[in-house]
Structure 1
């Protein structure tokens, strides 16, 4: 079991440099940030860009893996995203994971002036976006003419430090998204129920995630892959569970999900006065507690 941090991009870099270095010093496996242009209740406060933040974080850390949690087609294009990822992988000396999802109907969905896409269109775009991003990051020269995205002689040289490319972590709960994870992913991400903020009884949540893992297994079987080839990541903070109530509560929580096959749990670094306030005094102790309970 690994424990990783989700660091919101709300810190001016004079503060942020210490926050990201702290995550490495504490022993977190990875630190991710949200790739949004603005987000929820943080919309009217400081909110910095994901790629510049991760690039700066790469410069003040040496071992910590870094990544987006998650980027989406809402305002990204595969060609420019691939160039950013290749560059970030170089700057970080091969420590980048690209978390990617289909996107939603929040602020990012209309910030460029377009009407939010329907669920069907988001899924269709996602199914074109991920394979093209895979090709761009793997090949040095890509031409593609698709329904939603095109690339013409897109050069990605010298390519990623990680070979054949930086790993993709696919956020998905439905069968089409799970198929993408099975086909292109090195990791799979879930937040639990498909609807964020779901009021599902916490006792039912492990069963829901077990069902998603079963779906991922079937998708992998269809692709001729072993599901164990993918890391299984649980991003916390969107259900009624309280894993940060205490260190022991987190260890118990991690144990329940480890039994299902989850091997990485991501927790938000607490931000006082926000919905991510809980966990102060616990967050800092989690890497050591997980290492003691699960080894490593």
Structure 2
């Protein structure tokens, strides 16, 4: 048995050396697969689901699939692990592959050095190649379908709810050229928003600004986060119209907390916006008469 394992290990290391232009360096800092892909075991066959790999998800199984087929586009070059089977995924721009479970161990011992963290854990060999060709590899315990902080953060982000509002303007009913028109989001507030918890991880949205498009072709302008009638957000029309298609939306910056502690997760969005709210704004001229 030991002789067979050593033979397999020798063959694997030979393959690694042939594929890499730079020497491999072992690193215990390589994290276990998480977030992408999600590896699912069912009836003794594994399926790899590529989630958050950049532009959607892809799925492939042991029966084929190469680089996957689907609507998403991986954020890394999966061809860097061509010929290594289907268990490939992206961690940002880094391409990773794992032998699950590993056919050889890190040492010549018949069992891993550390006991499994759970009864579902399997001992794997993980190999990663960065976008600039730097390689790293390690052996580790891995629990299939383990939910990562990144996955939890995405769940928490999806639980944020932006309150509805109505776009108001003043002068009411009809604006006047060369006179400031005020804008505000009616029916909402400038309170901080907190989504529901995802296993202790929450997304928090802080009010940042209001974006207003007056509808006259001038483009979108950025205003203070305005929820009450004031001149904080103002625009002056220069041409009259039966009705400009004005619109506005609210923008929040997003941060995350894990059990009350600040958490930074690379790759997650730093903002969230409401839907655009529209209103038709008639703009008129003020007629002046000169009395002689």
Same fold (TM over 0.5): no
TM-score range, shorter chain: under 0.3
Larger radius of gyration: 2
Whichever structure has more helix as a proportion of its residues is 1
User: What TM-score do the two structures reach when normalised by structure 1?
Assistant: 0.23
